[in-house]
Chains A and B, each alone.
Chain A
């Protein structure tokens, strides 16, 4: 079965979407990601969509679902590299991707994930010290 590759990099999972995805492929990605977050105990997921020429309501919903599912599995999601024309179209379509963190490129996306995860770890450490 056709699949989008998911790369493991330390505590994070990286996905770069390079092809025009049909709906089944989008659903597979959603399933694969949740499985890998669980398997590797990942702290963050980065989805790079810089090669995507459109994001319609189906792909938009998938992105929002992935963000929600990873949140429940204690991982953060950041979407990077959205084309300006895609952003304009997405908002006019009526999707605002609420609850989804974005960054302009992969570098900034990784930096954002690291910052969020570090802040959380410090918070947890402080909590345990008090106990």
Chain B
């Protein structure tokens, strides 16, 4: 059974917040004693998703959760915005597809860097992306 040991919510309202998000995720990953590679992966994934929340979702917030599943520890991040939502989810999850000016690697790249990835989006209401990285 998964229990939540610690929880915190951070705003994503500016470019500077994306930097703060990276720092917060780094602090939490270090506390959970993630390896350097796993720290780097979860921070990079968080950076991509925070930028999406800010650029496409017009801002929102990130929820940080420190998890335990028996002896296993993990970090769950939830990015939520009340932006325009994603019209075509299949396309959004295709490498190289972008409606902005980016590379189109953010969402798909972030998915490859974590253990669990979940995305929910309703047009006109917003998007929620949840990622979890377990310390294996």
Contact = CB atoms under 8 A, between A and B. Distances in A.
Interface string A67-102: 000000000000000011110110011110000000
Interface stretch (A20-28, A31-39, A42-50, A121-129): A20-28
A94 B112 contact: yes
Given A56-B47, A85-B39, A88-B37, A20 B113 contact: no
A8 interface: no
What's the interface size class on B, roughly? 20 to 34
Contacts of B18: 22-23
A85 B48 contact: no
Contacts of B23: 20
A53 B26 contact: yes
Contacts of A20: 19, 22-23
Given A56-B44, A57-B109, A93-B112, A23 B51 contact: yes
A61 interface: yes
Interface majority SS (helix, strand, loop, mixed), chain A: helix
Contacts of B60: none
Contact of A22 (B16, B36, B39, B103): B16
A27 to B, nearest CB: 10
A94 B109 contact: yes
A4 interface: no
Contacts of B106: 57
A56 B44 CA distance: 6
A58 interface: yes
Nearest to A92: B112
Contacts of B39: 85
A53 to B, nearest CB: 7
Nearest to B106: A57
A41 to B, nearest CB: 30
Interface string B98-136: 000011011011101100000000000000000000000
Interface string B1-33: 000000000000001101100110010000000
Closest 4 CB pairs of A and B: A93-B109, A85-B40, A56-B47, A57-B105
